Amino acid sequence: MPNINAAITAVHAWVPEDILSNKDLEKMVDTNDEWIRTRTGIEERRILKGEGLATSDMAVEAVGQLLEKKGIAKEEIELVIFATVTPDTTMPDTANTLCTKLGLTNAYGFDLNAACSGFIYAITVGNQFIKSGTHKKVIVVGGDKMSSIIDYEDRATCIIFGDGCGAVLLEPTIESVGVQDSILKGDGVGREFLYITSGGSKVPNTVETIKNKDNFVRQNGAPVFKAAVKGMSNVVSELLEKNNLGIDDISWLIPHQANKRIITSVANSLKFPMEKVTMNIHKYGNTTAATIPLCMWEWEDQFKKGDYIILTAFGGGFTWGAVLIKWAY
Ligand code: UT7
């Protein structure tokens, strides 16, 4: 039996048209364009507007356009793994809703919540379905409508997050390309620094929780910042060492886009040249599970078959990790 690898054979993404700029935020909270640019690198973010529009609607665009671009019939898709912290509803799951809205009639799906690390967790799970030989066409989606869980009176969070969605198609190959390795980590100590208090089984929403705005994301940024730099730098080093690779062997580093200073600190600590690091945080802010596929989509034209690419992320939980892929086309 030849060794089966899971290759990323297509990538696509979609962002809403509406822009929320730093200048707009200046009118909403006590902040300013200069502070946001220098402390985060963010200039604007996209916001999904429209009555009843949800995370799955962005995914309908991203995945629908991906299938069109790749020339694959909707019926061929077998499984959808949807990384998100902003599901359309707590139940049913968003993957299921997406399959029906888009007409993926032979697919089943499930949601995966690993906050900002969701996409790399989902790629790792999808890889197992392909490698085992049980599935031949798996869609991995990372999408979040962060604007639905942001308090636009809280300057510690509202300046950071935006909405967007990206997706990849995983298919089997016997060539030595595709997902090569993955290291995922987690540590629940992080739950006191980045969290939503209510709306789960511990504190269900009540009139009181809504009045207190406990249903929105809260963050103590500084400890998250430090843990993110350390976590991503260490896990990328571990992944390189495990695979006997050096920085020079890697064509691209695709880090989660949470803060430009986190990205440059990780690159500096790894001695990774910035011209090989993807960064589009200035346009989209932190779109949580969508940041990595949004980068893959925008850099797709620059990737070459056989390029080693590392994806790395850090997020709420804490969750973090890194995935080594060899570009397949
Ligand atoms: O993706 C999931 C994981 N999340 C992250 O990785 C986010 C990690 N954290 C961060 O990116 C940064 O910590 C933030 C961007 C959230 C905050 O930046 P910071 O450099 O850590 O700022 P800080 O919270 O230490 O605050 C520095 C100063 C404070 O003023 P004083 O006490 O020095 O006078 C804040 O009150 O900046 C002030 N400040 C602001 N000023 C203008 C905090 N937020 C703002 C703001 N506008 N929005």
Q: In what order do the strands lie in the sheet with 178-186?
A: 178-186, 319-326, 308-315, 250-255
Q: Taking Cα atoms as reference points, which of 298, 315, 309, 189 lies closest to residue 256?
A: 315
Q: How far is CA 34 from the centre of its chain?
A: 26
**Contacts for 174 with CB less than 8 Å, ≥ 6 apart:** 2, 3, 4, 5
CA 195 to ligand 1 center in whole angstroms: 16
Distance CA 236, CA 312 (A): 7
Cβ of residue 224 lying under 6 Å from some atom of ligand 1:
yes
Rounded distance from Cα 222 to ligand 1 centre (Å): 7
Token pair of 163 as six digits: 């909405």
Distance CA 178, CA 2 (A): 15
User: Is residue 242 within 8 Å of residue 218, measured between CB atoms?
Assistant: no
Report the phi/psi class of residue 84: left, alpha or beta, with left for phi > 0 and alpha for psi in -120 to 50.
beta
Closest CA to 26 of 18, 39, 16, 36: 36
Tell me the DSSP string of 122-183.
HHHHHHHHHHTTS-S-EEEEEEEEGGGG--TT-HHHHTTB-EEEEEEEEEEESSS-EEEEEE
CB-ligand 1 contact for 159 (6 Å cutoff): yes
Residue with the nearest Cα to atom 1 of ligand 1? 258
Q: What is the position in ligand 1's atom list of the atom closest to the CA of 228?
A: 6
Nearest-CA residue for atom 39 of ligand 1: 156
Q: What Å distances lie between residue 226 and 7, 66, 190, 217, 230, CA to CA?
A: 33, 36, 12, 19, 6
Q: Is 232 in the pocket of ligand 1 (CB under 6 A)?
A: no
Instruction: Using alpha carbons, select from 159, 186, 149 the residue that is nearest to residue 315.
Output: 186
Residue ranges and CATH numbers for the domains of the chain are 5-176 (3.40.47.10), 180-326 (3.40.47.10)
Instruction: Look up the pTM and report it.
Output: 0.97
Is 281:261 a contact under the CB 8 Å cutoff? no
pLDDT confidence of residue 2? 76
What's the CA-to-centroid distance between 291 and ligand 1, angstroms?
20
Q: Does residue 262's CB lie within 6 angstroms of at least one atom of ligand 1? A: yes
Length of the chain: 329
Measured CA distances, 198 to 149, 205, 288 (Å):
11, 6, 19
DSSP structure string for 261-321: HHHHHHHHHHT--GGGB---HHHH-B-GGGHHHHHHHHHGGG--TT-EEEEEEEETTTEEE
Nearest CA to ligand 1 atom 19: 222
Per the listing, tokens 């020079």 go with 248
Token pair recorded at residue 246: 């050096």
User: At 246, which amino acid appears?
Assistant: G
Determine if ligand 1 sits within 6 Å of the CB of residue 116.
yes
Pick the residue whose CA is nearest to atom 21 on ligand 1: 222
Residue closest to 32 by CA, chosen among 23, 41, 40: 23
Q: 126 vs 27, 95, 141, 281, CA distance in Å?
A: 43, 14, 10, 26
Q: Report, as residue numbers or ranges, the catalytic residues.
A: 116, 256, 286
pLDDT of 1 reads: 66
pLDDT in tens, the chain (329 residues): 679 999 999 999 999 999 999 999 999 999 999 999 999 999 999 999 999 999 999 999 999 999 999 999 999 999 999 999 999 999 999 999 999 999 999 999 999 999 999 999 999 999 999 999 999 999 999 999 999 999 999 999 999 999 999 999 999 999 999 999 999 999 999 999 999 999 999 999 999 999 999 999 999 999 999 999 999 999 999 999 999 999 999 999 999 999 999 999 999 999 999 999 999 999 999 999 999 999 999 999 999 999 999 999 999 999 999 999 999 99
